[in-house]
Amino acid sequence: MPAKSLPKLLAAGLLLVALACTGTASAAIPAGNTGWSWANPLPQGNTLDRLEVSGGRIWAGGATGTLLYSDDGGANWTAVRTGLLDDIRTIEAISPNSVVFAGRCALRRSDDGGATVRRLAWGSSDDSCAAQIQAVSFPSPLIGYLLLTNGDVYATGDAGDSWNKQGVAPGSVASNGTAVVRDISFTSVSTGVLSVGNRVMQTVDAGVSWTPVKTADTGAGLFNFEFLGTTTGYAVGDHSDILKTTDSGATWNAVPGDFATRNSELTSLSCADESACIATIGSSSSILRTADGGAHWAAAVLPADAIYAAGFLNGTDAVAVGSGGATARSVDAGATWTPTTSVAAGKFTGIRIDSPASALIFGEQGAIARSTDAGKSWKPLTPPHGVKITDAVAVGAQRIYAISNSVALSVSSDGGRTWKVQNTGKNVASRAIFAWTGSRVMLVGLHGVRISTKGGAKANPVRGKVAKLSLKNVDAAAAAVFVYGDRDIASTFDKGKTWKIARKPRGAGRIKRLDMVDAKYGYLLDSKAELFATRNGARSWTRVETTGANVAESMAFGDRKHGYITDNTGRVLATNDAGATWSRQYPFYDQSGQSNSLVATARKLSATTLVVGTNRVFTSDTGGRIGSSSHLTLSSSAAKVRKGTIVRVTGKLTPAVGTERVAVLARVRNAKGGTRWISQERTVSSTGTFTTSWRITAATEFIARWSGDASHDGDAAPLVVVKLRK
């Protein structure tokens, strides 16, 4: 809704907000390759499980293509726009400003501190490969090595611009074995080691041949390496002894001592020198630290659910990263740790936008928090009680109302510091709340509407047709306020004194979201993922044919042209032309489809999303866009064909390098109740062109879109229709 509108509701189910810890604030961290930024946790909430330190710069990577760096010991972080949705599987810091990183099949490099990123074409596709990338090692800026999950070793001599298969790890799948490879590390351009199964292999001929130099005395091996220079290094693994070499990996010996590493799976190791080292333990919140080169180990507990990687910056300072974006710092060689992450933790499922600057989130166990900076950060309020809050609304800076299933209405007059329970009257089962002023409050529920003129006390039922409606939600647009349920819609222009009744669109499923941007214009999302638009205050509706969405969890419009649709994978569809086209944005990505997302907006380009069941909140003031623009076109080989004809639907992406992926979606046009979209994915050519083929059995509509990359925004092509000849 526009900025001048009254508060509106976007709430569903349960929400838990609790302040877990506070730390030093970083600049807003972009979410994915989009114009969305993290609002909670701060600085960001994607799991981090890879960490490299070079010359005082910390590189950390993890889920959904996240790559960050810090130049102040982890106090503040800056994001790199990687162009990837894959998890970052490996990072190699060649120098403070030069880094190589990889997803499953995609290999990337930056030589300007992350300002720009380029593709390293070791394979033909970034989306699929016969064997995925396991580890990478660059002993010099030009010469590098790539270890694949099947044991193949590739080499480059030109900084990664070209690659050749160099050798194979003995015993691996690529050599007809079954052993799993873990890590590769080169101490010079020709000398290196890799781990395969429970053995360490060495090469002295640039990876052409590999010689076994150590078999684990205990455990499963699967070693990770940490070299302090060209000769001295350590290796840790799965319930194995810590191994040490002083001859560039030619020989390895178990470090004598308490053998504490035999009790854990060590997933990473970092050493400040030959004495001080820290190691991470599987998915534990603890790390192991040693001050005598691994002879004796002590555990240190960190303020996180799980720590996956840690690294020394110098002899005393260290940083650790882990689940949910957790970051922590140590200034005493890992003995104690201080969190640098601020998070409102819990299971968020609802958000209320009160004004362009103000918003509330609320949920289980009475948790409630407020943002006064357009959703960019959140401050927890005192819980009004210990049961879940199902809706809340703020009126001005101090007055806040909250309802729940067992406590009808709680009211705060001091900005959420203290609360009192309000007696709303008998048999009031409210599902949503709205307030015109601090005293005039409306409660809606299964039995219509109730109005209170005393701050929620003694809410009286509204008589007439609206009393017979089963309602669940409220939407405000300027002077008009709309209430709705699964089927019915009602509106008032006089603060609830009189009401007009409307119905959902013909053929629509249950109403999921109603969002009126003013008294006449608005949008409705149904349970079939269909979007409808009205221009006459919900009296009649037109189906929007261009979304390409088979799953839609939430919808919101900031004005008549700018809107968003979210789904269960992290995808946001954004339009700036009233739904004519929808670009695809991924603040995060959940391939399993278990991350239902909600969206709310108060003005043209500003929006906030949250992921149901998590503590992840995102905000944007750019309509989700970032970077340079791109342009996508689409056309068909024929506008009218006979039934059964195969048509070519072609398009062009500008600019393009030839690795971008475009989705072409199609469905039957004007089918009653709508039909599901089917899609074909294509990699564009070096000139940006792509082609799909379709057999036409009914009038069919086509759209196309791509998500953008590290340099360019995504775009969508306008609707193309192929009709049948009569």
**Residues 8-42: tens digit of each pLDDT:** 333 333 333 333 333 344 578 999 889 999 999 99
Cβ-count burial of 568 within 10 angstroms (0-12 exposed, 13-18 middle, 19+ buried)? Answer: middle
**Residue with more model confidence, 8 or 390:** 390
- Token pair, residue 52, equals 């490299």
Q: List b or e across 587-617, with b for residues whose CB sees 16 or more CB atoms inside 10 angstroms.
A: bbbbeeeebbbbbbbbbbbbbbbbbbbbbbb
Cβ-count burial of 142 within 10 angstroms (0-12 exposed, 13-18 middle, 19+ buried)? Answer: middle
User: Do residues 235 and 200 lie in contact, with contact meaning Cβ atoms separated by under 8 Å?
Assistant: yes
How far is it, in rounded angstroms, from Cα 310 to Cα 278? Answer: 7
**Residue with more model confidence, 349 or 606:** 606
Dihedral sign from CA coordinates of 436, 437, 442, 443 = positive
Closest CA to 15 of 390, 382, 345, 347: 347
Q: What is the pLDDT of residue 315?
A: 94
pTM of the model: 0.89
Q: What is the pLDDT of residue 17?
A: 33
How far is it, in rounded angstroms, from Cα 335 to Cα 524? Answer: 55
Strands 78-79 and 90-95: unpaired
| Strand ranges in 318-426 using DSSP code E only, listed in sequence order | 318-322, 327-330, 338-339, 343-345, 350-353, 359-362, 368-371, 379-381, 389-395, 399-404, 410-412, 420-421
Number of H helices, E strands in the chain: 0, 67
Strands 617-620 and 389-395: unpaired
**Residue with more model confidence, 334 or 364:** 334
Beta pairing partners, 500: 491
Beta pairing partners, 533: 523, 542
User: Do residues 226 and 184 lie in contact, with contact meaning Cβ atoms separated by under 8 Å?
Assistant: no
How far is it, in rounded angstroms, from Cα 406 to Cα 411? Answer: 15
CA dihedral 688, 694, 700, 701 (to 10 degrees): -10
Q: What is the pLDDT of residue 20?
A: 37
Q: How many CB atoms neighbour CB 425 within 10 A? A: 17
> Percent helix, strand and coil across the chain, each rounded to 5?
5, 45, 50
What residue type is 174 in one-letter code? A
How far is it, in rounded angstroms, from Cα 576 to Cα 606? Answer: 12
Region 682-696 average pLDDT:
97
| % of the chain with per-residue pLDDT over 70 | 96
Q: What is the pLDDT of residue 427?
A: 60
Q: Name the band, by pLDDT with cuts 50, 70 and 90, for residue 603.
A: confident
Dihedral sign from CA coordinates of 683, 688, 692, 696 = positive
Q: Look-up: residue for tokens 């340099």?
A: 711
How far is it, in rounded angstroms, from Cα 504 to Cα 498? Answer: 20
List, for residues 181-231, the tens digit of each pLDDT value. 999 999 999 999 999 999 999 999 999 999 999 998 887 888 899 999 999
Dihedral sign from CA coordinates of 245, 250, 253, 254 = positive
Q: Is the pLDDT of residue 343 over 90?
A: no
User: Do residues 619 and 601 lie in contact, with contact meaning Cβ atoms separated by under 8 Å?
Assistant: no
Region 62-79 average pLDDT:
95
**Residue with more model confidence, 447 or 719:** 719
Closest CA to 368 of 431, 616, 352, 303: 352
Q: What is the pLDDT of residue 26?
A: 57
DSSP state of 559: S
What residues contact 356, with CB distance under 8 A and at least 6 apart? 3, 374, 602, 603, 606
User: Do residues 702 and 649 lie in contact, with contact meaning Cβ atoms separated by under 8 Å?
Assistant: yes
Q: What is the pLDDT of residue 670?
A: 83
Q: What is the pLDDT of residue 22?
A: 37
What residues contact 176, with CB distance under 8 A and at least 6 apart? none
Beginning with the edge strand found earlier in the chain, give each strand of the sheet holding 350-353 in spatial order: 8-11, 350-353, 359-362, 368-371, 379-381
Dihedral sign from CA coordinates of 129, 133, 139, 141 = positive
Beta pairing partners, 200: 195, 214
* Largest interatomic CA distance in the chain: 89
Q: What is the pLDDT of residue 613?
A: 80
Q: What is the pLDDT of residue 134?
A: 98
Q: Is the pLDDT of residue 1 over 90?
A: no
* SS3 at position 390: strand
Q: Is the pLDDT of residue 648 over 90?
A: yes
Q: Is the pLDDT of residue 150 over 50?
A: yes
Q: What is the pLDDT of residue 673?
A: 67
* SS3 at position 246: coil
Closest CA to 533 of 518, 553, 549: 518
What residues contact 619, with CB distance under 8 A and at least 6 apart? 36, 37, 39, 374, 375, 376, 606, 607, 608, 609
Residue 11 Cα to chain centre, angstroms: 20
How far is it, in rounded angstroms, from Cα 304 to Cα 476? Answer: 40
Residue 220 Cα to chain centre, angstroms: 34
Q: Name the band, by pLDDT with cuts 50, 70 and 90, for residue 477.
A: very high
User: Do residues 89 and 133 lie in contact, with contact meaning Cβ atoms separated by under 8 Å?
Assistant: yes
List, for residues 485-523, the tens digit of each pLDDT value. 999 999 999 999 999 999 899 999 999 999 999 999 999
How far is it, in rounded angstroms, from Cα 274 to Cα 225? Answer: 14
CA dihedral 545, 549, 551, 557 (to 10 degrees): -70
Strands 640-641 and 713-724: parallel
Region 148-172 average pLDDT:
98
How far is it, in rounded angstroms, from Cα 482 to Cα 432? Answer: 12
User: Do residues 164 and 171 lie in contact, with contact meaning Cβ atoms separated by under 8 Å?
Assistant: no
**Residue with more model confidence, 356 or 68:** 68
